[in-house]
Amino acid sequence: MRANSSSPVRRVAGAIVAVVGVVLLISTFANNLFQVGPDFEEMIDDFRPMLAEESIATAQSDLAMLGAVGPEFETAIVPALSQQLGMSGEEFMSFTATNFPAVATGVQALPEIVPTFNGLVDTLDQQRPLFDSADQIPTKDLPATTVPWGLFFAGLALVGAGVMLFRPGRTGLFLTGGLGVLIVVVTLILTLIPKAADADDLNENLEPIYTAELVAQANGALETVGAMGTQMQTEMLPALAQQLGLSGEELNGFLGENFPATAQALGTLPEAMSRFDGLVSTFENNLDNYDTIKPVAFSPIIFTLFFAGIIAVLAAGAVWWTDRSARPSGRMQEPVDRTIVKEDITV
């Protein structure tokens, strides 16, 4: 029998490698990775500008500005304007609620709206390191859509290598070992294990806040604040200017001098609302993408790939050792000449 014939060890090793390849194929389809990959990439692309350090800082500044409006309105604007108009504070609030309901509703809602958005923005800020890591799956330059194809072809290659390992010869041995080393090295060089763990942590941390209910609540808050700003600028301030006998410019100067937070909010609110609308729209537009990604755990998938490579290397090593042990050792003995030689006997 030839030393490299299909030994039991070779058959078992080939079967194991082929099964590991099938497991990778099953994992690819069971986790819906051909859908998860594009959805993950689209979601990451959409959120990338929103999670930039500058964008987070701007959002926090916008919220600080809005957060100062409510207290200033109640503690400074109401007493000052009610005095100017000859009203009590309660009368001025009733006057505002009757004639400018969007302003009254918005001012009353700000103490709840601002902390809600602050919590959302702070959560996004805390997730930036995890997002940056997940954004590099598999690399900074390769999109996430390449991951399912990589797993798919790795599975096919391992199945083929396992079949080749059944056959006598070194082709299957070198193919299996080389493929296993390649899988292990690529997994380690691309740091796929920590990236997958970061993606799972990001997924878990976003799950409590990334819901359709939150998106609906945020849209409602934007409508409330937007209506407040619009009615205050287009209706309330012109009416107050008329009652106080001030021009629009004089009223703006009066507000800027005495109520700086409100004056700043009125000047920057349209741009701030546009930015918040973009953030909420990004959440809303990616709800379907997140629903696809949410049930998927990336770490087990990457660990399956990594250990598939290790198993392939070990299988190839076991076959190599078995083949080596089966070869004859030492120098070949010289053939024994069994020819009977008759010697002349001299008497």
- 106, 161: one domain: no
Tally of residues, the chain: 347
Which is higher by pLDDT, 245 or 149?
Answer: 149
3-state secondary structure of 231: helix
Longest dimension (CA), the chain: 161
Classify residue 94: in a domain, yes or no. Answer: yes
- Calpha distance 36→148 (Å, rounded): 9
- 255, 241: one domain: yes
DSSP assignment letter at 77? I
* Residue 132 near residue 193 (C-beta atoms within 8 A): no
pLDDT of residue 266: 82
Query: pLDDT tens for residues 97-122?
Result: 999 999 999 989 999 999 989 989 99
Query: pLDDT tens for residues 181-193?
Result: 999 999 999 999 9
Report if pTM > 0.85: no
- 116, 169: one domain: no
Classify residue 159: in a domain, yes or no. Answer: yes
- Calpha distance 151→138 (Å, rounded): 12
pLDDT at 334 over 60: no
pLDDT of residue 27: 96
* Domain assignment of residue 84, given as a range: 52-126+208-293
- 158, 21: one domain: yes
Work out how many domains the chain is built from and give that number: 2
Query: pLDDT tens for residues 39-96?
Result: 999 999 999 999 999 999 999 999 999 888 888 888 888 888 888 888 888 888 898 8
Query: pLDDT tens for residues 208-250?
Result: 889 999 999 999 999 999 999 899 888 988 888 888 888 878 8
Classify residue 346: in a domain, yes or no. Answer: no
Query: pLDDT tens for residues 270-310?
Result: 899 999 999 999 999 999 999 999 999 999 999 999 999 99
Classify residue 342: in a domain, yes or no. Answer: no
- 117, 138: one domain: no
* Residue 218 near residue 280 (C-beta atoms within 8 A): yes
pLDDT of residue 245: 83
* Residue 177 near residue 316 (C-beta atoms within 8 A): yes
- Calpha distance 253→266 (Å, rounded): 13
In angstroms, the first-to-last Cα distance of the chain is 52
Classify residue 201: in a domain, yes or no. Answer: no
The separation between CA 122 and the C-alpha centre of its own chain, rounded to angstroms, equals 16
Point out the domain boundary residue: 244, 276, 293.
Answer: 293
- 112, 215: one domain: yes
- 16, 63: one domain: no
Classify residue 339: in a domain, yes or no. Answer: no
- 34, 68: one domain: no
Q: CB under 8 Å to 46, separation ≥6 — which residues?
A: 282, 285, 286
- 180, 228: one domain: no
- Calpha distance 247→268 (Å, rounded): 21
Classify residue 67: in a domain, yes or no. Answer: yes
pLDDT at 3 over 70: no
Q: Which two tokens stand for residue 25?
A: 């194929």
- 137, 279: one domain: no
Classify residue 96: in a domain, yes or no. Answer: yes
Angle between helices 260-285 and 53-72 (to 10 degrees): 130
Query: What residue has token string 């009353």?
Result: 108
- 248, 139: one domain: no
- 78, 120: one domain: yes
pLDDT of residue 5: 52
